[in-house]
Structure 1
Amino acid sequence: MSQHPAVPFRLARAGAAAVLALALAPLSPATADVAPRDQPGDVAQRALNDLVTGGEFPGALAAVRERDGRSRDYTAGVGDLASRAKVPVNGKVRIASITKTFTAAVVLRLAGEGKVELDAPVEKYLPNVVRGSGNDGRLITVRQLLQHTSGMPEHGKAIAGTFFESQHRYFEPRELVDLALTQKPLFAAGKGWSYSNTGYVLLGLMVQKVTGRPIGVEITDRIITPLGLRDTYWPSAGEQKIRGAHPSAYKSKTGKPGGELVDVSEMDPSRGWAAGQLVSTPRDLNRFLSALLGGKLLKPAMLEQMKRTVSVPGAPQGWGYGLGLTKTPLSCGGLAWGHTGDVGGYSTRSGATEGGRSATVTATAESLMADGDKQLTAALDTVLCAEK
């Protein structure tokens, strides 16, 4: 799919991916009086305040983790438009496509164990699964699925624009793949770049075939439990409510700017599956990225593979996509490694510097406006670059 240049991996762009990116309009006049919770003099807090005072997002939350493990939390706006309740500190949110980094880490661990070959065809692990409309698993490698160079079409095209009709529907992973296979390849494998949620659904199926265990269990046992990510979990089949304290998430009822905002916190996340099903918190995501980049999850050779990026047409200079991991230049110099996620009214930007600082910012509405994307990206940059 074609990606927005400012945020090349944002799911809300290019119709096909709209199934996971439920774009939102600016706040209605009734929500324009939201007052941020300020901590004077704190650059990170001001960046979060800016997300809500502009009227784009009802609320926002963030966490910053220093190299020594110390963390600070931030909130702004309101966590619920009806009750005007505060945004819960370190609240749980659907992290959408940041799930891809977890899935990729599991695949790379299997590769490090000799159970998966990154340059082997998908056909080796999923015989006869990728067939239809010119798509052929014998021509697509595992690496190409991980870095979005497979040419796999997007399953979201089949249900894009029907969020409210399918909000509470459960999708089987193979159903998502079959929806994608009704379309022709976007390009010959390895000859282009296009963000594909379907590619990560296939990776989830591959993990299950190789291990004999559900992808959610593999992510839990290999990453969540060892790292002590107590607020991160894989929703069980049919689970639509978010466990524990969380800010509400909002979507425009019309899908256009100015539309009535509807609370869409409760939804079935199966449309994302291995590409976008996880629930987590800013603190847990920071801990995860710090551990991943610190070499606590992958062997050095596998982490090097993960950070080996390809260029993306239309992306900002210096931006690249690796194996489930993005590379973004920072305004203060250096790089941030991470990912973004947009689904069901939650928009999250998460990254870690090579110096060991990590940060996550989430807004509780998904913008239809390019300015909203830019504000979120700028907020993460500000938080990562801010001094203590």
Structure 2
Amino acid sequence: MAKPVAATVTVELARQGVLRLDDPVRAHLPGFDLADRNSAAGITIRDLLQHTSGLPFGAPLLDRADAGRRPADVLPALASIKPQSPPGTEHLYSSLNYLVLAAVIEATTRRSYAEVLAATVGRPLRNGIVATAAQAATVPSGHRFVAGRPVRMNTGYDPAGAAYGYLGGSLTDLTRFATDQLRPKDPAITAQLHAPGRPTGLGEHYGLGWRISDLPDTGQAVVMLQNVSGFFHESALLATAQGVAGLLANEEPSAVAVDPMYLPAVGVLAALALTLARTGRTRSCPPERRPLVMIGFRADRDANGLADQIAGRNQVRSAAAMACRSAESSRVDALAHAT
């Protein structure tokens, strides 16, 4: 949930007039540079939010557990990195974007990212958030099964990474944040976050911190996915007309969790959760190309995430809609003959 939260913080700062989404990054970080200086000059805050800056994956600069590390500490290393595309032209998912975004927020507000987070998005959360190394030290370690036995995994904590992945909190906080996205107090902010940006694939886009995909359904769904080393979980929140259906599953809940059928089983459970949440509702047939939205987030390591499994059903949407209308037409004809 780190990137959707960071995007929400940024849009809130824009609402307050602290920054503008189309500001060049250099307007707030004069030291920001890349091997291609012209490209660096053209990168905006919006590009960071939508992963359209051209920054590469940048794994060596991420997941560092150096004590006292700050987001701006990455700037000297970026000066030798060559962008993979011109700013604003292509979606290239990279957590470096959100690491630089945190540096922008800190430089603009002259406060730590954790402090800004607590004063904006974190304010309504009752149980607190985990956004610093000190807070992370109080959280129980995750476990994995090794040779059939649970083994504690200490994966470290990147003190500069709260905006791109190292953010935690309680299930209550997660639910409250998701509910605020579904029923926003300020629809204008949510509209900016959920507006489709550059395409990421067939029927898929990336908004501001959120993945947006078509769903073969007549309602809307907000799906947040996360797979974090050390805590190992998949989560899905599906919004339906009746409310929120939530599914949480440990990535390795038992010694047999390495079974290759585990991920497909999680996909089936997600579909079941959506079906149960919709039980009892009667829907008319959907329009053949009605835009349906799934807003989702996937961490860098989520190569086989639940969102892909659900979104992969998109190809049958039009056929299903046509079949539904055909069946409905047949029922109408039957009633006409009966009367």
Q: Which TM-score tier does this pair reach, normalised by the shorter chain?
A: 0.5 to 0.7
Equivalent position of 2:168 in the other structure? 279
Equivalent position of 2:133 in the other structure: 237
Within a 5 Å distance, the mapping from 1:286-305 to structure 2 comes to: 286-296=175-185, 299-305=186-192
Aligned match of 1:120 = 23
Structure 1 residue 189 displacement after superposition: 1.0
Q: Does 1:216 pair with 2:101? A: no
Counterpart contact for 2:90–2:198, Cα < 8 Å: no
Partner of 1:184: 82
1:16-75 alpha-carbon deviations (Å, 9 max, x no partner): xxxxxxxxxxxxxxxxxxxxxxxxxxxxxxxxxxxxxxxxxxxxxxxxxxxxxxxxxxxx
- C-alpha distance in 1, partners of 2:192/2:17? 15
**What letter matches 2:176 in structure 1?**
R
- Partner secondary structure for residue 204 of structure 1: helix
Distance 1:217 1:169, change over 3 A: closer
Once the two structures are TM-superposed, the CA of residue 224 in structure 1 deviates from its matched residue by 2.3
Q: Structure 1 121/370 Cα, relative in aligned 2: closer, same or farther at 3 Å? A: farther
- Confirm or deny: 8 A CA contact 1:240 1:266 kept in the other structure: no
Aligned length in residues: 272
The alpha-carbon distance between structure 1 residues 170 and 208, as it changes in their structure 2 partners (threshold 3 A), is closer
Equivalent residue number for residue 134 of structure 1: 36
Distance 1:109 1:235, change over 3 A: closer
- Conservation of the 8 A alpha-carbon contact between 2:236 and 2:270: yes
Q: CA deviation at 1:198?
A: 1.0
* Greater mean deviation of Cα atoms: 350-359 or 109-118: 350-359
- The aligned residue for residue 18 of structure 1 is none
**Residue matched to 2:237:** 351
* Preserved contact between residue 147 and residue 324 of structure 1 (Cα < 8 Å): yes
Quote the Cα distance in structure 1 between the aligned partners of 2:14 and 2:218.
Answer: 32
Report the alpha carbon displacement of residue 187 of structure 1 after superposing the two structures with TM. 0.9
Does 2:110 align with 1:110? no
Alpha carbons of structure 1 residues 168 and 209: separation in structure 2 relative to 1, 3 Å: closer
Counterpart-to-counterpart distance in 2, 1:276 and 1:127: 25
* Distance apart, 1:336 and its partner CA: 2.1
Q: How far apart are 1:280 and its partner, in Å?
A: 1.9
**For the Cα contact (< 8 Å) 1:249–1:264, is it kept in 2?**
yes
**Structure 2: gaps of 5 or more residues:** 280-339
Measured in 2, the distance between the counterparts of 1:169 and 1:375 equals: 39
Q: Aligned partners of 2:259, 2:78: CA distance in 1, in Å?
A: 27
In the TM superposition, residue 307 of structure 1 has moved relative to its aligned partner by 1.0
Match of 1:39 in 2: none
The TM-score, its normalising length taken from structure 2, stands at 0.67
Is the 8 Å Cα contact of residues 106 and 112 (structure 2) preserved in structure 1? yes
Aligned partner of 1:250 in structure 2 is 144
- Give 1:248 deviation, angstroms: 3.0
Q: What's the counterpart of residue 337 of structure 1? A: 222
Aligned to 1:386: 276
Contact 1:151–1:187 under 8 Å retained in 2 = yes
Name the counterpart of 1:325: 210
Paired position in structure 2 for 1:307: 194
Q: Is the 8 A contact 1:250 1:263 kept in 2?
A: yes
Structure (1 or 2) with the greater helix fraction? 2
Q: Does the aligned pair in 2 maintain the 1:240–1:267 contact within 8 Å? A: no
DSSP 3-state at the match of 1:327: strand
Two-structure CA RMSD over aligned residues (Å): 3.4
Please tell me the residue identity of whatever aligns with 2:90: G
| Inter-partner Cα distance in structure 2 for 1:249 and 1:282 | 18
Shift of the 148–260 alpha-carbon distance from structure 1 to 2, 3 Å rule, reads farther
Aligned to 2:98: 200
**Greater length-normalized contact order (CA 8 Å, ≥ 6 residues apart):** 1
Percent identity over the alignment is 23
Check whether the contact 1:241–1:265 (CA below 8 A) recurs between aligned residues: no
Q: 1:150 aligns with which of 38, 45, 53?
A: 53
CA offsets, 1:147-187, max 9 Å, x none?
1111112331457xxx8xx6686643233454454431121
How far apart in 2 are the matches of 1:239 and 1:333? 42
Alpha-carbon distance in structure 2 between the residues aligned to 1:216 and 1:143? 21
What's the CA shift for 1:106?
0.7
Unaligned residue ranges in structure 1 (runs of 5+)? 1-97, 253-257
